[in-house]
Structure 1
Amino acid sequence: MASAIKFDLPATLSVHPKRKCIHQYVPQDTMVLVLVKVSDGYNQRVGLEIFDNSLSANSYDKKRDLNGEVRLAFNTHADADISVCFTNTLHDGIQPDPKYSRVIDLEFEIGAEADDYQSLAKAEKLAPLEVELRKLEKVVQEIVDEMEYLKTREAKMRDTNESTNERVQWFSLLTLFTLIGLGTWQIFYLRRFFKRKRLID
């Protein structure tokens, strides 16, 4: 899967930099290719940080003073949202102004789209049709992996539902027996009480 986005990144003071983040969910052990194009801009420094929101909070890359085109490739370590965050800070002594901004062109390619098939075609001397078949093979493999992941998740959810259902059943039985026991005790207690007060025989 590939996605592209283009936006203006206003410059802020380096004391309080503002981040602009793009988020994308990516499964574990998936190749990700991030292509960034930064427009020219004076008195500004663009920074980039790539990380995920998993429990281990994996950091994939961190760059400062980005200019021109940058390609970053990595494999994910967990099923999580990948965040690509940008900052644009002004050089010291420069005051914020609407004219200070940089245009960011971001492409996010995941899985089969992230592989460099041109290099592969040159290395293995593949025909264009063979390259397309390799792409399709990778896409099909990703679909199979996704189906396996969904199947595993469905099994876990089913186990959780069955476990919850069993607990609710036991809790219902416990509540029922408790109510029956309290009702029986109440009847005997009231009978004894009324007999003691000689209200009934």
Structure 2
Amino acid sequence: MFDVYFCKHKQSAVTKNGKPYDNVILQDKTGTIDAKIWDPNNAGIDDFDSMDYIEVHGDVTSFQGALQVNVKRVRKCKEGEYDPAEYLPVSKFKAEDMMKELLDLAGSVKNPYLHQLLEAFFVKDEAFIKTFRQSSAAKTVHHGFVGGLLQHTLAVTKLCDYFCTQYSVLNRDLLITAAICHDIGKTKELSLFPKNDYTDDG
């Protein structure tokens, strides 16, 4: 294995025998993989930290049913040697298409107060809209990628819209508004990629 990866996380540790090693999480657009540097003081291992882009030489092995990289050499990359966008996991759907569909659902809300609430966030607040479109819905559990929050919100809202066609007792305006807004706190709870980690507020 030989390629450039984004170092999402790096942590030093010690084996039972007292030998130092590094736990590393490597990331590219397809996702993440655990890696081990068993000889971190080797001359072939450049100094690097979390959030760096690194050129990795190593072997892919299986450990307890999961793939893992046994790192042999590391070179810290310089700016211009990589495109950060190539290392971010992204939604398989276009953000523009998802946002249009979500706004169409928001626009169908007839209650003037709920409609005004949705407009305040999803039409008039440009800073919020930009962050919402780029945010993930979680660190790892579900929709943990760029556009994940938008994709998750749209999916929940469409389900609620469907339920309203099956159960007339439901208040559609209230349910659609709640679905669209149910996770907007994630824009404050999680930082944007490439970090995608819990903030102090979160």
TM-score, structure 2 as length reference: 0.25
Higher strand fraction (1 or 2): 1
Pick the structure with greater CA Rg: 1
TM-score, structure 1 as length reference: 0.25
Higher relative contact order (CA 8 A, sep 6+): 1
